Structure 1
Amino acid sequence: MGDELKRQRKHSSRKWILLFKAFCISLVLGVLAGAALLTYLYATSLPMAESDRNSRLLDSSGAVIATFSSGGKDSIPVQLNEIAPSLVDATLAVEDRKFYDHYGFDFKGLGRAVLVNLKRMDMAQGASTLTQQLARNLYLSHEKTWNRKLKEAMYTAQLEMKYSKHDILNMYLNEIYYGHGAYGIEAASQMYFGIRASELTLAESAMLAGIPKGPTYYSPYNQMKNAKDRQKVVLEAMVDTGTITRQEADAAYQQTLPFKAPSERRTVEEAPYFRDYVKNVVTQQLGISPQLLDHGGLNIYTTLDSQMQQAAESAVAKGMDAKSELETALVSIDPRTGYVKAMVGGKNYLSNQYNHALASTRQPGSSFKPIMYLTALDSGQMTGATVFNSQPTIFHYDHDRLTYQPKNFGDKFLGEINMRRAIAASDNIYAVNTIMKIGTEKVIAMARKMGISGSLNPVPSLALGTSPVSPFEMASAFAVISSGGQKLPATAVLRITDAAGRVVYEAPQNRPEQVASPAAAYVLTRMMESVFESGGTGNRVANVMKRPVAGKSGTTDTDAWMVGFTPELSTAVWVGYDKGKAIQTADGHRAAPIFAQYTEQALTNVPPKIFPVPDGVVSVYIDPQSGKLATAACPQKQLEVFVAGSEPKEYCSDEGTSPPQPQDKQADLKKEKHSWWSDFKRWWMN
């Protein structure tokens, strides 16, 4: 009996030893398997996120300003320090209070959810942390299956291994969906309130933090009551976590929030019209397929200057009536490079995606005249001193079979005037006299070389801008004048790289084409500066312009223009209606202020520069009445610039007054040499 008991005890002891060994082996194997799994997860790269597969648009500084997505996904990436702390606190309080304490999983909440799911035999309840939500949004669908849950757990662990909590939170706030096409807090802030995420108040933060749980159900645009109820839940959570006081929560809940109406909401991406333009360039001109653009992870480096783009959007917003159907467009090009620096294709992209900046259906009116005057100056057929009589005139053309009788605005006729006065006052009689003298064929040929590609009708009224063009073409054409007669192709895309960083496209290094002489372009520029001086059609904005600027306005029954340039920017502004409706007089005055405000704001950090004087230019005093050299006896005299050799040779006379003495002529020549510097000093002192 004793031996049997001993055998049983010995057997039982051996059994426990075996069980202990098995447990230890299992433990070791489990630890090894866990270590192997963790090593595998750490060493394995995460899959490419859906957002990473969308191609990105970058500005001239390399900052991402937009994404390309066939699903209309709009996002504006920002850093965590560019988000209001109240939004961060609100998100953590309502979504994941233990975010900084766990390693991606809330096991207590997960266990509770598993029990509920097992009881119901489905996947009805979850306990997702921010990291889990991020993994799901980046890499997975939202279907509730065990397979998806397993993958979510793996990706969650990998995210926690590879990124800091700071990075995970930053990615989450840039990825989460806030409804109405806005992904990320910056896009949501701009869409709902028209402000940046850094400017959000506590009340606004609590409202936005509550939306991701149900972007449709909690949308303040769709269900305001649900949105306010959810905002209260968020504020209560913030009180519970101690990030705000009860008094702050109550005050925030009572606050009336300044939601943007759909017609007034800012677009959720910067430069949406430029984005669409680049998309067309990339797919239609550079041969990249729409599928590759949407899902190839391309980086498209562009010429857009974000500071100038913001200045353009600000000028348009200030200069246009948001409630009116009146539309606008602004295009700005660097004449030194041909780079497109800013583009606004309409008043509000959300309500009208038609890009008016590219629409070749608008009559430029008198803003077309500089193209004709450059032709006249470059051909040597006319100078700034050429005089025509501004009076009612009937012009005969087409072998005298047809007639044309232009009019001046308000039926004001100025009598004998020179080219400078004609440009400043936008005299139509002088303009038609010019095109009749030099010929429509030469004007059309020059327009083509300057970048006008649309149909141009070879009739006298071409001088008055009756053939339609686009703002983009006008900005390109005036860039030729600003750059001393040199033409560079308009460029928007500099480089494209694929997801691996390999260069797919590199913009060619274009050499400028000299389409007009530098001297002729400078002479025209000096005369176009008078548009912004006393008596000029742009004089109303002269007090806004703090730098040398040249330009030309244009007004028809349906369109208003201001096209002008500095040494750094050539800009075209158009205002009108989509359906060709007649504009009111007040609407015709909107283009110039938009141009002036944009130019000054875009060049805020650029010191004013005079237009560089090329070789082959001389300055002399002339009698504006006769166009001849001025003497002391002339009742008026005006300093004018000429292409060397084209300046007047005869002197004006007053009852036989003789030419000035040699010393006077020497003094005039001295002034000719330094006239541009004298003009600059006089401008600077004023």
Structure 2
Amino acid sequence: MRRRERNNRKMKTQTLRIALAALLCAACAAVLPSCSAQKLPEALREFTDLSKVQLPDSSNPSRIYAADGTELGQVNMEDRKFVPLDQMADCVPEAFVAIEDERFYSHGGIDPRGVLRAIVRAVSRGKAKEGASTITMQLARNLYLTQEKTLQRKTEEALIAAELERRYSKKEILEAYMNVIYFGHGAYGVGAASDLFFGKAPHALELHECALIAAVVKGPAVYSPHMNRDNALARRNLVLKKMKETGAITEDERSSAAAQPLRVLPYSGPYENFRASYFVDYVIHQLTSQNGPFGFSPRELATGGYQIYTTLDWSMQKDAEAAVRGAALAAGLRMLPQRDGPTDAVLQYALNTDVKILGLDSAEAVKRYSRSGFSEATILAAKKLAAPVAPQGAFVAVDAWTGAVLAMAGGADSRTSRYNRAWLSARQAGSSFKTFVYLTALMQGHSMSDTVENSRYCIGAYCPKNYGGGYGDGSLVTWHEALVKSLNIPAVRVGHAAGERNIIRLCRELGLDAPMEASAPLSLGAASASPLQMAVAYAAMPNGGHRVKPYAINVIRDSEGNVIYRRDRSAGPRVLDPGAIASIIPALEDVIRRGTGRAARTGSLAAGKTGTTSSYRDAWFVGFNPDVAAAAWLGYDDNKPLCPPESTRNCITGGLVPAAMWRDVMENVKLQRRGFNMAATPPQTEEVEDPDAVELSGEDILEDGTAPAQATPAVIIEIEDPEDTNSPTGEIPGQNPDSAREAPQGLMRSAPRPTQPDNRQ
């Protein structure tokens, strides 16, 4: 009897292999002409030795390093708790089977229907896109293989899955799977995930919690409730729907669980084991993405002993993290209905001198900023007042010439929110988008010295207003001045004449891929982008017009020190005309020198653009020096206005806190290059005189981008921002001209920056 069962199993395995080989041959012949059915049997003999299939129990963690060799952390399996299947709530395996492999109990490791579906889709699309992976195949991939999508890897995965099914029961396979899968944040397995998200053991999980845990594994960077609550909630409810369809739960159970709010513990460890955790999350996503160039499985990273040398500038990263925390708290203080004298003094110091005074530990801040005269108690009190109303923020900097990510802070505090707003969040760009409008027109043969009428202008029913609600004074202004003062009506006139579709085309070439509508509001920033995308798009200006693609990994070595990956640093295609760059950079310099971005002055060569969206929901500053492009953003995750309750006064604008955030990271960058890569002499424009020896707090720059009448030197003056007026439907009010600090004596050019140690050799 047992011999017959063994023979049956053997015949079943062989049949599965033959069927899979035939299916893959058909797909191979249709999709990959270079691969033929005659070559496949020979290739099969070179695949994994199935006699070596066993559960590994050793750990050789991979290590991730900054560019200067600073170790950022280890990718290991320490945060894993093995939990037997009979110690999990019944809804745990039911949820995973429903969403990941509904025919798990009826197939022998390979789901023929899923494979056929994958082949059909691959043929129709011309490339392999559909995974068709069963739970057993996923286990095989996580234990033994990489994430790369090749015919060989997929065939190996299927053969190992069939062997696992021959050796182990369904219970053993499912138990192993749920103990090795990765949930993000360093947590492997259901036990660690249950503790991470809910602080309870798997046997105590409720139905909606089981569904959430099963929802995360498809992509922790996208579906973790600590990184994207909306995505996590939507997929949790999808899991519940699939559980109902498979008969695991009733409709009443589904509707009751779906009505539960998304409740998880605040992120505070113990799975926080990295420095620069937002950046490291980005790196690990790059390493493990099935659509990326590396294709590591989480298990492979945790046991392979790889040495991963990244592009991170550790010094800049520390500045960025402190600046984002400090800027978020400064924004919170700014929006308080009332502030006492000491608190207001801390806020003004942060805005005019360094927001990092609020972003560092209070004791360290007192030591670093001893000249401020603030006590530790004063700083701590200001931070406590700001914390309940503080928004979120993000900062990202890239090497403008290569696309290397130098710094990335995706939130104010990774311990409370791991959602990486620096690269996952797409927010409206506001007036920072106007740069692309003028670049499009400049590449059609225009110049920033051209003039445009600043008067009422309608396209159909759409009649944009300048900031403050006016329709302009009817005068002619140069494009240069219109951009410096962030005037809306001239931007819409220029954009409509250049063609909104042409603007979208240029944005695509610069790397902005969010949906855009070819309509008049586009010119005022009715388009979404992440801070990373904005920084990369702006990088094309200082580098002479070339598009760069962001990357975070320079070199990967295996456990024996052999280089298995080295970044290709070849230049990207040229997408901007040098003449257009030469024309627009002086205007963007003037934005900082005397326009809406005066708070971003670093004391050295810099250019950039402010951005504030409709109803103050997003505030930006995006800019560059000759070496580095960077974007700073502030906003609430729920998209509420950056304003005090029931008020449009003391709101946060791009030229206020984001500009100060950008300044307080970029002012520490030592330039390697002594000037912008401009091929032509910029036009000469008349400068607006800055007030002498007056620190401006943010309220004192008027709607046209100029300063108020001369104030008494060394006195902080408070003039309310003009209120945002009611706009016609579809109107996006433009940039609010805001904060500045005392101008340096000319543009100072710093000495060249020493090169980073090269970890490639």
One-letter amino acid of the counterpart of residue 300, structure 1: I
- Counterpart of 1:291 in structure 2 is 299
2:546 equivalent among 486, 503, 511: 486
2 CA distance for matches of 1:309 and 1:338? 16
Q: Percent identity?
A: 32
1 CA distance for matches of 2:450 and 2:486? 15
Does the CA-based 8 Å contact 1:484-1:519 persist in structure 2? no
1:264/1:431 Cα in 2 relative to 1: closer, same or farther (>3 Å)? farther
1:369 equivalent among 415, 424, 434: 434
One-letter amino acid of the counterpart of residue 66, structure 2: D
One-letter amino acid of the counterpart of residue 66, structure 1: G
1 CA distance for matches of 2:186 and 2:574? 47
2:537 equivalent among 477, 482, 505: 477
- Counterpart of 1:404 in structure 2 is 462
Q: 2:277 matched to 1:272?
A: yes
- What displacement does 1:503 show? 2.5
- Counterpart of 2:448 in structure 1 is 384
One-letter amino acid of the counterpart of residue 296, structure 1: G
- Counterpart of 1:507 in structure 2 is 567
2 CA distance for matches of 1:519 and 1:436? 21
- Counterpart of 1:660 in structure 2 is none
1:593 equivalent among 623, 635, 660: 660
- What displacement does 1:55 show? 1.2
- Counterpart of 1:85 in structure 2 is none
Does the CA-based 8 Å contact 1:573-1:591 persist in structure 2? yes
1:408/1:619 Cα in 2 relative to 1: closer, same or farther (>3 Å)? closer
* Secondary structure of 1:462 counterpart: helix
* Secondary structure of 2:634 counterpart: strand
Q: 2:340 matched to 1:340?
A: no
1:495/1:368 Cα in 2 relative to 1: closer, same or farther (>3 Å)? same
Which deviates more from structure 2 when the two are superposed, residues 470-479 or residues 57-66?
Answer: 57-66
One-letter amino acid of the counterpart of residue 63, structure 2: R
2 CA distance for matches of 1:502 and 1:533? 49
- What displacement does 1:181 show? 9.8
Matches within 5 A, 1:242-641: 269-284=274-289, 285=292, 286-321=294-329, 322-380=387-445, 382-396=446-460, 403-412=461-470, 413=472, 415-534=475-594, 536-542=595-601, 545-556=602-613, 557=615, 558-584=617-643, 585-588=650-653, 589-601=656-668, 603=669, 605-606=670-671, 609-614=674-679, 616-617=680-681, 619=683
1:478/1:72 Cα in 2 relative to 1: closer, same or farther (>3 Å)? farther
* Secondary structure of 1:320 counterpart: helix
Greater gyration radius: 1
- Counterpart of 1:10 in structure 2 is none
Does the CA-based 8 Å contact 2:618-2:634 persist in structure 1? yes
* Secondary structure of 1:358 counterpart: coil
2 CA distance for matches of 1:265 and 1:600? 35
Does the CA-based 8 Å contact 2:485-2:591 persist in structure 1? yes
- Counterpart of 2:63 in structure 1 is 56
Give deviations 1:245-271, integer Å, cap 9, x for gaps.
Answer: xxxxxxxxxxxxxxxx99899975321
Does the CA-based 8 Å contact 1:391-1:429 persist in structure 2? yes
- What displacement does 1:323 show? 3.7
Matches within 5 A, 1:106-117: none
- What displacement does 1:607 show? 7.2
One-letter amino acid of the counterpart of residue 427, structure 2: R
1 CA distance for matches of 2:422 and 2:300? 26
Give deviations 1:384-438, integer Å, cap 9, x for gaps.
Answer: 1221222232123xxxxxx311122112435321111111111110110011101
Does the CA-based 8 Å contact 2:546-2:575 persist in structure 1? yes
1:317/1:416 Cα in 2 relative to 1: closer, same or farther (>3 Å)? same
One-letter amino acid of the counterpart of residue 55, structure 1: S
Does the CA-based 8 Å contact 1:263-1:348 persist in structure 2? no
- What displacement does 1:72 show? 4.5
TM-score, structure 1 length as denominator?
0.53
1 CA distance for matches of 2:439 and 2:671? 28
Give deviations 1:598-631, integer Å, cap 9, x for gaps.
Answer: 1012x1x4478332432x446467999xxxxxxx
Does the CA-based 8 Å contact 2:328-2:634 persist in structure 1? no
One-letter amino acid of the counterpart of residue 596, structure 1: R
- What displacement does 1:537 show? 0.8
1:265/1:347 Cα in 2 relative to 1: closer, same or farther (>3 Å)? farther
One-letter amino acid of the counterpart of residue 310, structure 1: K
1 CA distance for matches of 2:748 and 2:553? 38
Give deviations 1:90-119, integer Å, cap 9, x for gaps.
Answer: xxxxxxxxxxxxxxxxxxxxxxxxxxxxxx
1 CA distance for matches of 2:403 and 2:677? 18
1 CA distance for matches of 2:685 and 2:637? 47
How many residue pairs get matched? 386
Give deviations 1:279-311, integer Å, cap 9, x for gaps.
Answer: 111111121112111221111111111011111
- What displacement does 1:69 show? 3.1
More helix by share: 1
Does the CA-based 8 Å contact 1:334-1:569 persist in structure 2? yes
* Secondary structure of 2:619 counterpart: strand
Q: Which structure 2 residue ranges, 5 or more long, are not aligned?
A: 1-55, 81-184, 188-265, 330-386, 644-649, 689-743, 750-761
1 CA distance for matches of 2:652 and 2:620? 11
* Secondary structure of 2:398 counterpart: strand
Does the CA-based 8 Å contact 1:546-1:608 persist in structure 2? no
2 CA distance for matches of 1:407 and 1:264? 48
* Secondary structure of 2:622 counterpart: strand
* Secondary structure of 2:549 counterpart: coil
Does the CA-based 8 Å contact 1:488-1:510 persist in structure 2? no
- What displacement does 1:505 show? 2.1
One-letter amino acid of the counterpart of residue 290, structure 1: P
Give deviations 1:452-478, integer Å, cap 9, x for gaps.
Answer: 111111111111111211111000000
TM-score, structure 2 length as denominator?
0.48
- What displacement does 1:488 show? 2.0
Give deviations 1:460-515, integer Å, cap 9, x for gaps.
Answer: 11111112111110000000112111112112111212212223322223223111
One-letter amino acid of the counterpart of residue 326, structure 2: K
2 CA distance for matches of 1:430 and 1:484? 26
- What displacement does 1:594 show? 0.3
Which deviates more from structure 2 when the two are superposed, residues 469-478 or residues 509-518?
Answer: 509-518
* Secondary structure of 1:341 counterpart: strand
Does the CA-based 8 Å contact 1:559-1:575 persist in structure 2? yes
Does the CA-based 8 Å contact 2:60-2:76 persist in structure 1? no
One-letter amino acid of the counterpart of residue 54, structure 1: P
One-letter amino acid of the counterpart of residue 287, structure 2: V
2 CA distance for matches of 1:473 and 1:418? 29
Aligned Cα RMSD in Å?
3.1
Does the CA-based 8 Å contact 2:439-2:584 persist in structure 1? yes
Q: Which structure 1 residue ranges, 5 or more long, are not aligned?
A: 1-48, 74-179, 183-260, 397-402, 625-679
Give deviations 1:56-86, integer Å, cap 9, x for gaps.
Answer: 111112221122235449xxxxxxxxxxxxx
